[in-house]
């Protein structure tokens, strides 16, 4: 006999939402019932009662958002954001810190950020042992800062946290020898079996030279920056970028303070070159403008012409897979799976939002209506762009 669910008691029921199936890129109208930290049922008109019943009609019900590129080593890197305030309370249930920590200060990152956070935190270990601490001193101020053996040891000892290696190649960090640092990062990545994330922009070599070094699964972040030697060759995509994608190199947005140009992104999207992941590169330098948060960066990509379903995949399933956390239930909605869910609505009135060069674009923002994190409801905070005086970003070649 079929199970009688008429009197089933759940903790949360989300009613009638437009549920996004990240594995197929499609939507269906469904209820979602949650019991404890797991999704009990996904179906239309689920019978039963719940402590919390939420009307999600006309709302997008998505797997909890995953930010591929941010900076959350709060209290050590001076520009890091608090992960709960900046991410979890703005719809993001899992984040990857992109190089704020190195092998020398990894232990603090593990103890005080990863283990203390209610949301999932992983990261890319900086090829510099000191990671990031401030914006004035390069992590490569001393060549001795690159400690490959110790970085490999950290990566092998903590594979559940260290999901790759980060290297910044701007002149302000890597000076005139960026390929030396890139190759050191790749050697570490090969030793620990993880990808390298490469910060490229205002770099003392061509993008072709950098892309030629990258392996399948390695990631070029800040893909749509408007600086010299970028993704475009005139009005067309650089052939080296197309060839790199063909062999499996990945491309991340990494908006940050100075790293997204609408002009570049629009041309790339028009030519079918969508980012694999939509990292925010959030920091204290940009969380009030121009990046704001992951949802705002996602909204900008939609306004530039990237389809909603592709934007959601690039902010849920794809980063979860690349970070190796999809096996823990991130990036998908499935019966029996983890209940980490972001409910969204798209505003009808646009905000006029800047990119990194103060170009302006009308953007109908996505806003979090409700977040369930491992079965727990999370209070949200208002968008940080409200009533904030505009300050044009300074393009100083640094990150974040």
Query: How is domain 9-62+334-378 classified at the architecture level of CATH?
Result: Roll (2.30)
The overall average pLDDT reported for the chain is: 93
Cα angle for residues 288, 89, 306 (degrees, 5° grid)? 65
Packed helices 294-303 and 262-270: angle between N→C axes, nearest 10 degrees = 60
**Are 78 and 71 contacting, i.e. CB atoms less than 8 angstroms apart?**
no
> What's the pTM?
0.94
Q: Which pLDDT belongs to residue 7?
A: 63
The alpha carbon of 350 is separated from its chain's Cα centroid by a whole number of angstroms, namely 23
- Judging by beta carbons within 10 Å of its beta carbon (0-12, 13-18, 19+), is residue 76 exposed, middle or buried? middle
pLDDT of 72-91, one tens digit each? 999 999 999 999 999 999 99
For the stretch 330-371, pLDDT in tens is 999 999 999 999 999 999 999 999 998 889 999 999 999 999
List, for residues 5-33, the tens digit of each pLDDT value. 456 999 999 999 999 999 999 999 999 99
By residue count, the chain amounts to: 400
Instruction: Give ∠ CA 331-353-389 in degrees, rounded to 5.
Output: 115
* Residue 328 reports pLDDT greater than 80: yes
Q: Which CATH superfamily is domain 65-328 in?
A: Metal-dependent hydrolases (3.20.20.140)
Listing DSSP states for 333-382 in one string gives --TTSB--EEEEEE-SSPEEEE-TTS-EEEE--EEEEEEEETTEEE----
Domain ranges of the chain: 9-62+334-378, 65-328
Q: Is there a contact between 199 and 169 (Cβ–Cβ < 8 Å)?
A: yes
State percent of the chain over pLDDT 90.
86
């Amino acid at each position: 006999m079929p199970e009688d669910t008429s009197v089933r008691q759940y903790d949360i029921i989300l009613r009638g939402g437009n549920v996004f199936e990240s594995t197929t890129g499609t939507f269906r109208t469904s209820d979602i019932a949650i019991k404890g930290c797991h999704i009990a049922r996904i179906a239309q008109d689920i019978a039963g009662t719940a402590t919390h019943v939420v009307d999600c009609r006309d709302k997008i019900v998505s797997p909890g958002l995953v930010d591929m590129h941010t900076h959350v080593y709060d209290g050590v890197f001076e520009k890091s954001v608090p992960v709960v305030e900046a991410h979890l309370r703005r719809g993001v249930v899992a984040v990857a810190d992109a190089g704020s920590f190195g092998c020398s200060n990894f232990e603090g990152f593990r103890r005080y950020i990863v283990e203390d956070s209610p949301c999932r935190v992983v990261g890319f270990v900086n090829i510099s042992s000191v990671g990031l601490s401030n914006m004035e001193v390069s992590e490569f101020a001393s060549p001795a800062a690159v400690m490959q053996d110790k970085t490999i040891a950290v990566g092998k000892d903590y594979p559940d946290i260290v999901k790759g290696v980060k290297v910044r190649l701007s002149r302000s960090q890597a000076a005139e020898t960026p390929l030396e640092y890139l190759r050191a990062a790749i050697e570490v990545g090969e030793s620990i079996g993880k990808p390298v994330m490469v910060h490229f922009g205002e770099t003392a070599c061509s993008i072709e030279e950098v892309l030629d070094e990258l392996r399948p699964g390695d990631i070029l972040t800040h893909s749509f920056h408007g600086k010299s030697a970028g993704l475009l060759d005139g009005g067309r995509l650089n052939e080296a970028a197309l060839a790199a994608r063909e062999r499996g190199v990945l491309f991340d947005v990494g908006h940050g303070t100075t790293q997204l140009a609408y002009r570049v992104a629009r041309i790339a999207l028009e030519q079918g070159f969508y980012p694999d992941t939509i990292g925010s590169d959030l920091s204290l330098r940009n969380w009030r403008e121009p990046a704001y948060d992951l949802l705002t960066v996602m909204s900008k990509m939609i306004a530039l012409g990237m389809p909603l379903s592709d934007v959601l995949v690039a902010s849920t399933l794809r980063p979860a897979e690349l970070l190796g956390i999809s096996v823990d239930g991130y990036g998908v909605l499935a019966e029996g799976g983890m209940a980490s869910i972001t409910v969204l609505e798209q505003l009808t009135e646009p905000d006029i939002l800047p990119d990194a060069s103060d170009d302006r674009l009308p953007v109908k923002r996505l806003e979090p209506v409700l977040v369930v994190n491992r079965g727990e409801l999370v209070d949200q905070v208002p968008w940080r762009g409200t009533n904030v005086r505009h300050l044009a970003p300074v393009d100083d070649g640094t990150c974040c």
